[in-house]
Structure formats: C-alpha cells, structure tokens
Amino acid sequence: MELIASLPKTTFWVGTIALVSAIACILALGIAALGAIAGTAVAAPTPNQPDTEVGPQKSYDGMITDTRCGAKHSSAIGKTAADCTLACIHGGEQFALVDGETVYSLEGETVQLKRVAGQRVRIIGALKGSKLSVISITSITSLIPQRSRP
C-alpha cells in the first residue's frame, strides 16, 4: 500500500524534472542560435559599407594641409600655410596630404601631424579607400640641405 501512495509523489517529481530539463535545453538552443546569428552579422560585410581593407604600406610624399583648403590656402587671412592648416583643424576639418592632384585624408597621431602642418613630408602609411593611415612621418623640408649664402 505504501508503494501505491508514494507513486503520485514520485511521478510529480519526475515530471517536474523532465519539464525543467526540457525548458533548459530549449533556452540553451535559443541562446546558441542567437549567438550564431550575431556572429554572422558581425563577420559578414554589408554591400553598402565602404571598402575598409587596408592596403600595403607605401611611401607618400606631399604637403600636410587640411581637407578644407587643400593646396590653396587663402592669402587674404595673412597667415602661413601652417597657421592656416592649424586654424582649419581647430575649426573641425581633418588633416590631409596633397600629393600633386591627389588629396588623402589622414588618420594618425594628431600631435605629429600638427608638428609638420604646412610642410612637405614623406609619410609611410597604408591606404584605406581615400584615407591614409599614418605609420611614420618625416619632414622632407628638414632633409633638404640648406645652401650657404655667399
């Protein structure tokens, strides 16, 4: 008789454990599926994104300026190219390298770029679309030997 009386209690606990186990499995599968979907969304580039692949490191020569003025600084303001560049940068523009007819937006250490603003430079960097990631920068002006005056 005791066996029959304990049967409903045992069935209740077995059923409860089975139900909780089933819910845990369903939640684990749901979380795994969400993780897989999120991982795929991060890894797959969308067609509307610009090409962010970094090219190989190369050497670029040109003049450090800003994206507003480019190679033509306004003489009306009475400032040097360096002062004009720094004023435009302070006003929200980005540093740029003018190499002939090509203008590259620069990404890099702002302190280094401010130091050579308005000067001819040689940049070692990697091109990413139209942005040039600066790895190193050297003033070409300082490399040109100065002639002594007679």
**Tokens matching residue 92:** 């929200």
Note the pLDDT of residue 26.
93
| pTM as predicted | 0.54
Note the pLDDT of residue 46.
46
Cα–Cα distance, 86 to 114 (Å, whole number): 7
Q: CB-hemisphere CA count at 13 Å for 32?
A: 6
Any residues with CB less than 8 A from the CB of 126 and at least 6 apart, and which?
Answer: 54, 55, 56, 57, 58, 132, 133, 135
Note the pLDDT of residue 149.
47
Mean pLDDT of successive 10-residue segments in the chain (150 residues)? Answer: 59 86 90 76 48 70 84 68 84 87 86 87 88 88 53
Note the pLDDT of residue 24.
92
